[in-house]
Amino acid sequence: MGRILTMLAATAVTMILIVGGGLYGLSSGKTAKIREDSATAVANAAALTLSQQISLLNRTLNKMAQDPEVVVAVTTANPVLLSNEAARLEKYFPDALKIRLLLPGVNDLDENSTPRMGFADLDMVRETFANEQPPGIQGYEGTDRHLALTARVMQNDRVVGVLLASLNYDFFSKSLQAAAVKNGVIELRQGDLVLGRSGQRNNDGNDPYIQTRVVGTSWDIYHYYAVGSDLADLSLNTTLIIVPALLMLLAVFFTYRRLSDFLAQDLETVLNVSKDMMILKSPSSYPVNFKEVTAIITAMMRFKRALDQANTEASVRNKGELDLSFDQVTHYEFNNPNVEEHQFSNLTATSPAEILAEARALLDNGQTDAPDNRPMDMLPATTPAYGSTGIYRPCDIGGIVGETFSVEDVHNIGRAFGTAAKKQGCKVVAMGRDGRLSSPALADALAQGILSTGLNVLNIGKVPTPMLYFVAQHTECRTGIMITGSHNPPDYNGLKLILNGDMLMGDKIQQLQQCIADQDYTIADAGRVENNDGYTHEYIGTIADDIHIARPMLVVLDCGNGVGGELGPHLLQALGCEVVELFCEVDGSFPNHSPDPSKADNLAELIASVKHYKADLGIAFDGDGDRLGVVDSNGYIISPDRLMMLFAKEVLGNRPGAEIIYDVKCTRHLAEQITKYGGRPTMWKTGSAFMRAKIKETGAALAGEMSGHIFFNERWFGFADALYAAARLIEIMSKDVRS
């Protein structure tokens, strides 16, 4: 595909030069030499277009000849198999009148099919066994005349057969007619045989002409051009302006129309997507060969899901307060009466770089009650660590695998979660896992537990947690489970659970525990597992459609051997960044450092790399990609509450007056900045599930925690996503040339 685009670009440059030459000739008197050069250019362009078309046909035929099924048919020499295989190939060659598979020593002519095989075809096949042959027009006039192409069928560097394709060659005339030649004529000839013609010659028949060979064939282009008055010259030069555009369009049309069988497979995939959409089938994996087709499929799937969820979302908005007996959470309001009295007036910067730099200076000067140089891991925890109160925690479930958290635990949780999901009308549960060594076994146990309740499992494989949130957001039930130990050491693992768009927390998690204790499971015919790792392109494509950077950025990316290492570099490159990868190989043992970007020790290599490469920015993800760590171009760590100041200004510029939520660990001056920028600050308790529930309750545009969780509900979906937050940060910083 890249070579084709390069070829088209080169053709466009050639056409522009032709137009320039024509205009120059018009202004300088339009000499005979200019007319001759113009005619030569038209002939060369027509020859180039035809040569490209023939080259594409030859490549397609050669790919068919390499098909293993073709080789088997030829080597077995079974006439029925040969005939069937030839018939199959005809379906993938739009212009094929007849395809024949011929063996060494062939002497018989096939006169029972149209077009009939003549002696010229037979000679061409025999010569092909020795050397590749150029295409040729064969057969008598009428239905037997055809364009013949051959390709050798190889086995272990030995020619075992020949593929003979008889094609319709009407496109010759169409290509020449597209040139729209006036006061002249352009012809394609094979010897004395005229294969196509466009235009009309003068009656005297003495017009000069240009002869050009069509590369890769035995054909010539003859361009007869008129030597006439100024009016005729003007018409010719006008044609020279139109011809390049037409030839350019023609080249694009025929190049894409005659892509090889890989493109045919991709088009068939697009049709399968359309069929699945019409019959309301759940999205499945749609592998393609070309990323251009991936963009189409991604757009179709997003459009379909948007339509499917429109009525549901409208219903939720109109319903107001729902019955949240299963969803009820105790809310703690935090009021800061001093916000209005103490304005953060010293922070006067307007550019992204200045905001971060001055915020750091203020923090270093002790103007905050939460200095950002204090190690984040020393801050008081709002939720207990794994193992301190059992595996059932306020926001998630987890523990030390093999000690406090077992495969049996996960299987039972799957049964309990499936029971709760089925009661709420869910039919499918999305499931993802991180790169920890224990995650595959836990995923199997979880899936078996869910399946036992009669629900289906959509297994999206090894992905960052935000991608599981993304898939759950765009599937029918908006329900999913992520197997991840997040930022914890390698021997930890756990579960993050989403039911009908809500993260389970508090009483909901306790209800799962009670269901397990009572063995009160739903039992039904086992559901099925659909393995689909095709959502990566849709996730990256959605972010790339939303984010637009103003200039290229050099970014060092430290994924800490977490699961974000497979997707993160591709995302940043898709945005147009140059990426220096640091520990992006997924390794659940985390051999280089702990996957927790909130600890300064874990950012040492990132800081050194940013300074070494003189990068614009350093980005770090935790083990499952929902926490963000940032280092500026000078190697200084940017704390999450300082990031929130920057994000708040950006978001409030788009959503004036919006509510912005932050956790109790952030500096109190963050509230002052939110107020200064025209927003409504709300302090809330720490915990990803708590934050997400508060966003849903209030409709806040942005939320953030000192842990590095950033929740964008403006232009995004309101869940913690370090990859999207990094993309938004890069977008903001790219607008400031001083950063």
In-domain check, residue 156: yes
Residues 138 and 265 grouped into a single domain: no
If you write DSSP's letter for every residue of 136-200 in order, what string do you get? EEES-SSTT-EEEEEEEEEETTEEEEEEEEEE--THHHHHHHTT---SEEEEEEETTEEEEEEE-
Q: What is the DSSP string of 324-351?
A: -TTT------B--TTTTTS--TT----S
Angle of helix 535-546 versus helix 564-575 axis, rounded to 10: 40
Backbone dihedral region for residue 560 (phi beyond 0: left; psi -120 to 50: alpha; all else: beta): left
Provide the number of structural domains found in the chain: 5
Distances (CA, A) of 728 to 399, 574, 666: 33, 14, 20
Residues 427/578, Cβ–Cβ less than 8 Å: no
- Domain boundary pick from 269, 294, 319: 319
Find the helix or strand (DSSP H, E) in which 530 lies.
Answer: strand 529-531
If asked whether residues 495 and 605 sit together in one domain, one would say no
CA separation, residue 345 to residues 148, 362, 663, 672 (Å) = 81, 11, 22, 9
Report if residue 324 sits inside a domain: no
Domain boundary among 533, 558, 577: 533
Q: Rounded to 10 degrees, what is the CA torsion of 573, 577, 581, 587? A: -40
Q: Is the peptide bond before 591 cis (omega within 30 degrees of 0)?
A: no
Looking at the fold, whether 522 and 585 belong to one and the same domain comes out as: no
Break the chain down into helix, strand, coil percent, rounded to 5.
Answer: 45, 20, 40
Same domain, 480 and 493: yes
CA 277 to centroid of chain Cα atoms: 20
Same-domain pairing of 594 and 687:
yes
Tell whether 128 and 206 lie within a shared domain. no
Q: How far does CA 427 lie from the centroid of its chain?
A: 28
- From the list 170, 148, 169, 152, the residue with the least C-alpha distance to 161 is 152
Do 475 and 577 share a structural domain?
A: no
Residue 363 CA to residue 670 CA, distance in Å, equals 12
What is the chain's length? 739
Residue 559 sits in a domain whose CATH number is 3.40.120.10
Residue 340 forms part of a structural domain = no
What pLDDT, on a 0 to 100 scale, did the predictor assign at position 27?
53
* Whether residue 45 sits in one domain with residue 160: no
Non-local (6+) Cβ contacts of 103 within 8 A are 74, 77, 82, 160, 161
Taking CA atoms, 491 is separated from 109, 350, 436, in Å, by: 73, 45, 8
Domain interval for residue 105:
66-167
User: What CATH number should be reported for the domain holding residue 150?
Assistant: 3.30.450
Torsions phi, psi of 724, nearest 5?
-70, -40
Residue 377 has what DSSP assignment? G
Q: Are residues 245 and 294 in the same domain?
A: no
521 and 452 belong to one structural domain = yes
CA separation for the pair 369, 706 (Å, rounded): 14
Q: Strand 193-199 and strand 184-190: pairing?
A: antiparallel
* 38, 486, 594, 598: the active-site residue: 486
Mean pLDDT of each 10-residue bin along the chain, 739 residues long: 58 65 56 75 86 89 91 90 90 86 89 88 91 89 88 92 89 77 82 84 70 90 72 58 66 62 76 70 60 69 57 42 33 36 43 67 51 37 47 92 95 97 94 97 97 96 97 89 96 96 92 94 92 88 92 96 96 95 96 96 97 97 97 95 96 95 92 94 94 94 96 95 98 81
Asked if residue 513 belongs to a domain, the reply is yes
Q: Are residues 437 and 303 in the same domain?
A: no
486 is catalytic: yes
What's residue 633's pLDDT?
94
Give the pTM. Answer: 0.56
Residue 337 lies in a domain: no
| Residue 541 forms part of a structural domain | no
Residue 632 domain-assigned (yes or no)? yes
Distance CA 463, CA 448 (A): 20
- Tell me the C-alpha to C-alpha distance, in Å, between residue 389 and each of 383, 392, 393: 10, 7, 7
33 occurs within a structural domain: yes
Same domain, 47 and 98: no
DSSP secondary structure string, 606-653?
A: HHHHHHHHT-SEEEEE-TTS-BEEEE-TTS-EE-HHHHHHHHHHHHHH
Which of 238, 257, 276 is the last residue before a domain boundary?
257
Neighbours of 683 (CB within 10 A): 19
